[in-house]
Structure 1
Amino acid sequence: MTFKYVDKPEVFIGLGDEETPCDLCHQQKPCFDAAAFFGEEEMAWICPDCLANGRLYERDSYTCQGDVMELKRQLKALNPALTKADIEDLADQKTLELEKTTPHLITWQDWEWPCADGDYARFIGYGSRPFYQHLAGGSDAESFFKKSIDYAQNEAPNPDELWEDVPKKSINNYADSSEYSTLFYVFKSLHSDRIITLWDSA
């Protein structure tokens, strides 16, 4: 199961416990829960194939909200020769792809999907001290974590306090994540090794 902006969604998001009819193709199969999608059109279930193949482009429904303002800023910085209209078109294309073909990441609060290097970043797992140690590649895990905190969340609360809440055990799947009242969502750039962390609490 491959999605551009989410790694291993069957592990980190999960499919329904039983096969259900997809709201789009109406086939009975393992589906993602679509009840929390955004937009005017309510849905209950969507199968991975319909989501990956862009069937949501036909509906007033989307799975997340991209940080389009930051995306436009990055695209302009990376492509100074492009016109404002070109930047707008490119940002809209990337945002639609994110919001219409990405599995819905289950979070406590609603926040905007982060960007890196002129594109939306890929969700790669839930933050934990062992995970940050792995990502740091021999560097100090705490310092690596603090540098990864998303620009929009830098001011609150103190990164030192946040580190205290980072789980000491690995979070290997969505079931494990439900054991914590504060979660850290780790994203990786599609174009570099940059890591971005967003967090929220129940």
Structure 2
Amino acid sequence: MTEYQKTYIELKKQFSKTDGGPDSVRALYAFKEELEQNEDPQAKEVLVDVYDLLAFKKDAYELLCQIGDRSDKKTLKRMGTLKDYAENWGNHYALPKPKTPEEKREEKERRARLGLPAFRYHPDPLDTGAFEESEEGVICDCCGKATPIFYSNPFFSVEDIAYLCPACIASGEAARKYDGSFQDDYSLDDGVNDPEKLDELIHRTPGYSGWQQEYWRAHCGDYCAFLGYVGARELRALGALEDVLDDPMWDDEQKETIRESVNGGHLQCYLFQCLQCGKHLVWMDMD
């Protein structure tokens, strides 16, 4: 057994033990980058395994095609399996490299300098993709001012609006000016009786983009915060899978579907968290 194999086995154990925890994924990324700079054939063999574990299926297949022994039946079988994944998935479902606490802090400070308003029901709209950044800047249709950040998720109005800045959403001016909303007020959990909370959600909160009709979860008498797009792997990494499955909304068959879900796949899960008790909930739909 080579030193590369020993290192990979240890990293894989940590990855499995932590259900793909951020520290284990960062360690695998560091090892991947080290192997990518190494021309030793034994290092390249292990790199195929690392690519495969991180779900870089296209990279794993292409590298195995370059270095694999086609006279070996096991290699050919694996090549065929990876080919199917590569053709259907590419590297689309590869695990992203988790940011370190320092990187997260720097990113938070950078975003604070951008002046992004606080959205109670959608706390990280840049992370979730609700807002995009433009180096050149765009002109907000609502206020007419230049903005480096603009909204890119659904806005339901008669007029076709190209750009909305965060400030016009947070103030409610965009919804007022165009008689629009960011969430269908019928596609919500019951149990919230405060009309101000409903107004804040549908008129002053960035929405999210679903495969079908977007739906907003509620808990403890309030609407939940939308945290982003997930599959079972992300839920396990967050330690939230069992919390999500402890939800009377889902029957046993649906719970099994959540356990098998893949972020960005044919069935997508959308993660929410209760602002009162911290419970995690999901909504899910299919493409």
Could you tell me the TM-score, scaled by structure 1's length?
0.70
Q: Which amino acid aligns with 2:259?
A: W
Of 29, 39, 45, the residue aligned with 2:163 is: 45
- State whether residues 66 and 114 of structure 1, in contact with CA within 8 Å, keep that contact through their aligned partners in structure 2: no
Q: 1:1-202 alignment to 2 at 5 Å? A: 1=116, 2-13=118-129, 14-15=131-132, 17=134, 19-29=137-147, 30-33=149-152, 36-55=154-173, 56-66=175-185, 70-71=189-190, 74-75=191-192, 87=193, 90=194, 92-136=195-239, 141=241, 143-148=242-247, 151=249, 154-155=250-251, 158-167=254-263, 179-202=264-287
Task: Identify if the C-alpha distance between structure 1 residues 130 and 70 changes in structure 2 by more than 3 Å, giving closer, same or farther.
Answer: closer
Q: Residue deviations 1:32-91, cap 9 Å, x none?
A: 136x311333322100111112212343111112457743xx25xxxxxxxxxxx4xx2x
CA shift for structure 1 position 201: 1.9
8 Å Cα contact 2:215-2:283 kept in structure 1: no
User: Relative to structure 1, is the Cα distance of residues 161 and 181 closer, same or farther in structure 2, using a 3 angstrom cutoff?
Assistant: closer
Q: 1:69 to 1:5 in 2, by over 3 A?
A: closer
CA distance in structure 2 between the aligned counterparts of 1:156 and 1:63, rounded to whole angstroms: 32
2: distance between equivalents of 1:62 and 1:106? 14
Q: What RMSD over aligned residues (CA atoms) do the two structures have, in Å?
A: 2.6
Q: Is the 1:22–1:47 contact (alpha carbons within 8 Å) kept by the matching residues of 2?
A: yes
Give me the TM-score of the superposition, normalised by structure 2: 0.51
Moved more, 186-195 or 13-22: 13-22
Give the structure with higher Rg (CA): 2
- The letter of the residue matching 1:160 is E
1:27 partner amino acid = K
Q: Secondary structure of the residue that 2:201 maps to in structure 1?
A: helix
Aligned to 2:35: none
Whole-Å Cα distance in 1 between the matches of residues 205 and 215 of structure 2? 13
Counterpart residue identity of residue 112, structure 1: Y
Change (3 A) 1:196 1:145: closer
Per-residue CA distance 1:104-152 (angstroms, 9 max, x = gap) = 2111111331111111110112223453235437xxx4x333224x72x
- Distance in 2, Cα, partners of 1:157 & 1:21: 47
List, as ranges, runs of 4+ consecutive aligned residues in structure 1 with deviation greater than 6 Å: none
Gaps of 5+ in 2: 1-115
Contact 1:66–1:112, Cα closer than 8 Å, also in 2: no
| Percent identity (aligned) | 23
5+ unaligned residues in a row in structure 1: which ranges?
Answer: 76-86, 168-178
Higher relative contact order (CA 8 A, sep 6+): 1
Displacement of 1:156 in angstroms is 9.0
SS at match of 1:46: coil
Amino acid at match of 1:164: E
Q: CA deviation at 1:96?
A: 1.3
Task: Quote how far apart the aligned CAs of 1:93 are.
Answer: 1.9
C-alpha displacement at 1:155, in angstroms? 4.8
